[in-house]
Chain A
Amino acid sequence: MEAILQYLLTGISVGSVYAMVALGFYVMWSAAKAVNFTYGNVFMLGGVLTVVLVELGMPLLVAAGGAIAIATLTGAVIERVFVRPFNRDANAIGWMLTTIAVGIMMESFATATYGPLGRPLDTPFMQEPLRIGGAGIYAQELLIPVALIVLTFGLEAFYRRTVLGRALRAVALNRTAAGLVGIDADRITLFAFGLAGGIGALAGFLIAPVVQASSTMGVVVGLKGFMVAIIAGIANAKGVVVVGILYGVLERFIEGFLSSAARDAIGFTIMILALLLFPQGLFGRKEVRKV
């Protein structure tokens, strides 16, 4: 019983990270029908840059703010330079390859300069684990789901209530039509990638104290985040969050009851199967195939 609670709590925590990353994919995808395929490296920036800035003597929150700002900028630059020129045709996959190229560069640059090893990040929430019904968990780990909830509702309100959010949805639906009512679709897309960059970096910063910030921390999380987004039906923010958390919990249960070595093999297999059973995603709207 205690073990189950333990897996559940840590699962929700790590799942919230996947969910945040998946939300970032959702934001990018809805604006551009393309994503930064190696978005995991923007997530990595959030953790690594915070550590670097703290080591330079900045207070934690200032350092985190700086890291998020830089990641936001990076997300926007990636959109402008590597996604936009390669996303002209409807089924283009050029952006997938260019963003993979950027990802390779970002990760190897980080490894070459920051070093291949992870470094700790001290926060006040990592001092003493909290005891909840026999399960031990750090406050930092509980902070992540809280941040996720705030973020989800914030995004929802933004998309529904603000003119900019509505413009984003208009761009997502039909760029030409958006242009014809005066919306600069390119600028909106740039904004979306910047927003996603910030979200990713926030997730990276939040998890860094728990897992240590390293140059390779983003690759697999990015991929899992993307799979989560796709399985949820990438056009549905709430679904993305639910599936992200579920996947985190599932992982912890596999680790706990089966084998930690086979965690990813089993987890990915389940995700592939889910995608085959629900090709539109679990929460995606079924589209009538147009003939």
Chain B
Amino acid sequence: MTERPILEVSGLCVSYGRIEAVRGVDIHVGAGEFVGVIGSNGAGKTSTLRAISGVVKPAAGAVNFDSSDVTGQPSHRMVARGLAMVPEGRMVFSDQSVRDNLVLGAYTRIKTDPRGVDEDIEKTIAMFPRLGERIDQSAGTLSGGEQQMLAIARGLLSRPRLLVIDELSLGLAPKILDMLFPVLIDLNRKGLSILLVEQMASYALSVTHRTYVMENGRVLLEGKSSDLAHDERVLDAYLGRRSHARG
């Protein structure tokens, strides 16, 4: 990769009160790369993402996105710059229709490009036909899996260059995940950079190019996902001694 990475995080620290959730994390995502961050829930993955996407302000360190320093920028500015986040727990606007959720996903460009937004809504419906069937239903009536689709679609409508996903698998049955991951892989193939935080390490390692393993607020390991999947240290700490069989 000779290009400058689209996202560069260096020395990132995040604190809540006196508790340091993230202590000096370096992460980068190259243009067009699909990067995973795995580790248990207390490891600081979500805090790292929240600092990158501007939901919380980092205590120290720098975030560089698309060749400019964006450290401490609030999330709504990050969206305008081309970084969209699919948050943990989906957070769809449950009292509004699926279509209105999608329109709000395009909030930053709806005034300047209404026609483009309409086209993009059609595209995301083609990607997730289930959303098309429920386009006028209120988002709160969707199932967990459908809400996750909506959250991804909503994120895509801002036309991001980097999509950041937090805990895709949370509360979702494996069969839904088997449907969602191929979509992400496809999006990535079409050029979208993706940073995926995922607790279910086996999934993340099987779909991403490169993976960071976090523990205790730090990056423990980093490497090609295919290598890490066979790394004893990862297996010990995260997948357990037994093979993590699914099904």
A87 CB to nearest chain B CB (Å): 16
Give chain B nearest CB distance to A172 CB in angstroms: 8
Contact of B94 among A173, A179, A180, A184 (CB under 8 A): A173
B129 → chain A closest CB, angstroms: 23
Report whether B75 and A180 are in contact in the complex, using a CB–CB cutoff of 8 Å. yes
Chain A residue contacts of B87, Cβ below 8 A: 176-177, 180
Contact B107 A179 (CB under 8 A): no
- B108 → chain A closest CB, angstroms: 4
What is the bound-complex CA distance between A185 and B92, given in angstroms?
Answer: 16
Q: Provide the residues of chain A in CB contact with B100, threshold 8 Å.
A: 166
> Interface readout for A174-186 with B: 1 if CB under 8 Å, 0 if not?
1011111111110
A206-220 interface bits toward B, Cβ cutoff 8 Å, 1 = contact, 0 = none: 000000000000000
Q: A166-B100, A184-B74 are in contact. Are A174 and B107 (CB under 8 A)?
A: no
Contact B85 A180 (CB under 8 A): yes
Q: How large is the interface on A (under 10, 10 to 19, 20 to 34, 35 or more residues)?
A: 10 to 19
Residues 156-204 (chain A) with a chain B CB within 8 angstroms: 163, 166-167, 169-170, 173-174, 176-185
CB-based contact B74/A179 at 8 Å: yes
**Residue B183 lies at the interface, judged by CB distance under 8 Å to chain A:** no
CB distance A167 to B107 under 8 Å? Answer: yes
In angstroms, how far is the closest chain A Cβ from the Cβ of B203?
23
B95 and A179 form a contact (CB under 8 A): no
Q: Which of B23-31, B36-44, B76-84 lies on the face that meets chain A?
A: B76-84
CB distance from B141 to the nearest CB of A (A): 14
CB-defined contacts of A170 to chain B, threshold 8 Å: 93, 96, 104
Q: How far is the CA of A169 from the CA of B104 in the complex (A)?
A: 10
Candidates A173, A182, A185; contact of B79 at CB < 8 Å: A182
Residues of B within 8 A of A167 (CB): 104, 107
Question: Would B76 and A184 count as touching, CB distance under 8 A?
Answer: yes
Q: Is the CB of A166 within 8 A of B76?
A: no
- CB proximity of B89 to chain A, nearest CB, Å: 9
CB distance from A159 to the nearest CB of B (A): 10
Contact A181 B104 (CB under 8 A): yes
**Is the CB of B127 closer than 8 A to any CB of chain A?**
no
Q: For A169, A174, A176, A185, which residue has the most chain B Cβ atoms within 10 angstroms?
A: A176
Q: Is the beta-carbon distance between B110 and A163 smaller than 8 angstroms? A: yes
The interface of chain B, by Cβ under 8 A from chain A, is 53-55, 74-76, 79-80, 84-85, 87, 91-96, 100, 103-105, 107-108, 110-111, 154-155, 158
